[in-house]
Amino acid sequence: MEFINLKAQYNALKPMIDKMLEEIMTDARFIGGKEVGELENKLAQFVGRKYCVSCANGTDALMLAFLAYGVGEGDAVFCPDMTFIASIEPACMLGATPIFCDIDRETYNIDPVCLENAIEKTIAEGKLNPKAVVMVDFLGNPADVEEITRICSKYGLVLIEDAAQGIGAVYKGKRCGSFGDISTTSFFPSKPLGCYGDGGAVFTDSEEIAKLLSSLKTHGKGSSKYDNVRIGMNSRLDTVQAGVLLAKMTVLEKEMDKRQIIAQRYNEALKDVLEVPKIEENCKSAYAQYVLLAESCEQRDGIIKALKNNDIPSLIYYPKEMHKMDVFEAYNNENFPNATKYAQCNFGIPFSPYLTDKEQEKVIETILNYFQKEG
Ligand SMILES: *Cc1c(COP(=O)(O)O)cnc(C)c1O
């Protein structure tokens, strides 16, 4: 059984993807082909933003967002304690100081109360300039957009939505990837919208920021790539990846519907024995991962072992909080109980729009059997 069945997805979309790739190979426009612009237009329209600027990966997308808003030394950037390091790493590389905040006990997204407390504390200490908040749609579940937007306006902070896991998710009628001052995503193969290599994109409603992003991703270009007005990066989405993504976008909504059905089935079957994902009202998760919480680390490890004995893959997503990482040694003694509980008890089970009924039944049965035996 595949954890995320990208092989089945390719089989289902093979005629469309192969045709797209053949055209690109024949044209030999591997960089900057027309598919890149087409994709940017489609993506902007899909999430509901005016501009989409594609780039090489989701980490670069965040780097470009931080650069566009001038994040640097002396700045404090707030982010959830439970995320992938790429949410904050580029800000650190630019010299900013990360400030971690605990997550909500049930949604696993940044807790607005913890965020506001952290901002107040930073202001009171007076050493750093509170600059930006990175709001992550963790596991594909939309963050608490309204509260976090309110807090950012109150304190004059730049709000960045890291929607690497959230493409296809919906918050109160609006798609993820459209929130905050600027939003970013990743097309890493296993993400809800993934390509066949690396890729990423930045979304904005500001023409000025869109122009700046285009320059920053192209060696700080002025009127052309050979007329440079600032120090930038080389961060491109190649034509092949754009082609794959254009093909996949034609089924994205159908896949999202399928994700809801499969998640619902898992929820119903497992809610009495494990903590199932909590999605706020009027929201839809993209279910980048379907993650359950056991009541203890021992129970979690026991279930993972039972799954493994039945050839069912699982993944701890993620095993360590940001503040516990060696790279953030100065934060190791901080205390974020919800993020810690999550790290110790979470595990993801096989999930994709291509999971078959039979596979899903086997996963459910194996977990329920574990509880019957171990109580
Ligand atoms: C995957 C991911 C990224 C980084 O994307 P890459 O394309 O791998 O660079 C950033 N943030 C989050 C939350 C992610 O899951």
Specify whether the CB–CB gap between 140 and 192 falls below 8 A.
Answer: yes
Question: How do residues 257-266 score in pLDDT, each as one tens digit?
Answer: 999 999 999 9
> Which atom of ligand 1 has the smallest separation from the CA of 198?
7
Any atom of ligand 1 within 6 Å of the Cβ of 86? yes
Question: Residue 289's pLDDT band (boundaries 50, 70, 90)?
Answer: very high
In whole angstroms, what is the distance from residue 356 CA to residue 35 CA?
32
User: Residue 160, Cβ neighbours under 10 Å: how many?
Assistant: 30
- Going by C-alpha positions, the residue among 235, 236, 245 that lies closest to residue 196 is 245
Any atom of ligand 1 within 6 Å of the Cβ of 84? yes
- Going by C-alpha positions, the residue among 84, 113, 83, 115 that lies closest to residue 99 is 115
Any atom of ligand 1 within 6 Å of the Cβ of 54? no
Token pair in block for residue 167 = 């493409």
Average pLDDT over residues 217-221: 97
Q: Report the residue among 77, 85, 165 best suited for mutation to probe ligand 1: largest number of ligand atoms under 8 A from its CB.
A: 165
Any atom of ligand 1 within 6 Å of the Cβ of 180? no
Q: Spell out a b/e string for 210-249, using b for 16 or more CB atoms within 10 Å of the CB, else e.
A: bebbbbbbbbbbeeeeeeeeeebbebbbbbbbbbbbbbbb
Task: Output the CA 13–ligand 1 centroid distance in Å.
Answer: 24
Question: Residue 374's pLDDT band (boundaries 50, 70, 90)?
Answer: confident
> Which atom of ligand 1 has the smallest separation from the CA of 138?
13
Question: How do residues 40-88 score in pLDDT, each as one tens digit?
Answer: 999 999 999 999 999 999 999 999 999 999 999 999 999 999 999 999 9
Question: How do residues 131-163 score in pLDDT, each as one tens digit?
Answer: 999 999 999 999 999 999 999 999 999 999 999
What is the percentage of the chain residues whose pLDDT exceeds 90? 99
In whole angstroms, what is the distance from residue 275 CA to residue 374 CA?
17
> Which atom of ligand 1 has the smallest separation from the CA of 288?
15
Task: Output the CA 42–ligand 1 centroid distance in Å.
Answer: 21
Any atom of ligand 1 within 6 Å of the Cβ of 66? no
Specify whether the CB–CB gap between 352 and 192 falls below 8 A.
Answer: no
Average pLDDT over residues 22-36: 96
> Which atom of ligand 1 has the smallest separation from the CA of 191?
1
Any atom of ligand 1 within 6 Å of the Cβ of 344? no
Write the CB contacts of 22 (distance below 8 Å, at least 6 apart in sequence). Answer: none
Residue type for position 181:
D
**Helix H or strand E segment including 207:** helix 207-217
What is the percentage of the chain residues whose pLDDT exceeds 70? 100
In whole angstroms, what is the distance from residue 232 CA to residue 89 CA?
17
In whole angstroms, what is the distance from residue 179 CA to residue 137 CA?
11
The half-sphere exposure of 84 on its side-chain side, counting CA atoms within 13 A, is 17
Domains and CATH numbers, the chain: 6-249 (3.40.640.10), 252-374 (3.90.1150.10)
Question: Burial of 86 by CB count in 10 Å (0-12 exposed, 13-18 middle, 19+ buried)?
Answer: buried
Average pLDDT over residues 215-223: 97
Residue 375 scores a pLDDT above 80:
no
Task: Output the CA 197–ligand 1 centroid distance in Å.
Answer: 13
Specify whether the CB–CB gap between 80 and 339 falls below 8 A.
Answer: yes
Any atom of ligand 1 within 6 Å of the Cβ of 165? yes
In whole angstroms, what is the distance from residue 106 CA to residue 93 CA?
31
Average pLDDT over residues 335-347: 98
Token pair in block for residue 35 = 């598919």
User: Residue 333, Cβ neighbours under 10 Å: how many?
Assistant: 8
Q: Spell out a b/e string for 123-134, using b for 16 or more CB atoms within 10 Å of the CB, else e.
A: eeeeebebbbbb
Average pLDDT, the chain: 97
Task: Output the CA 134–ligand 1 centroid distance in Å.
Answer: 13
pTM score over 0.85: yes
pLDDT at res. 241:
98
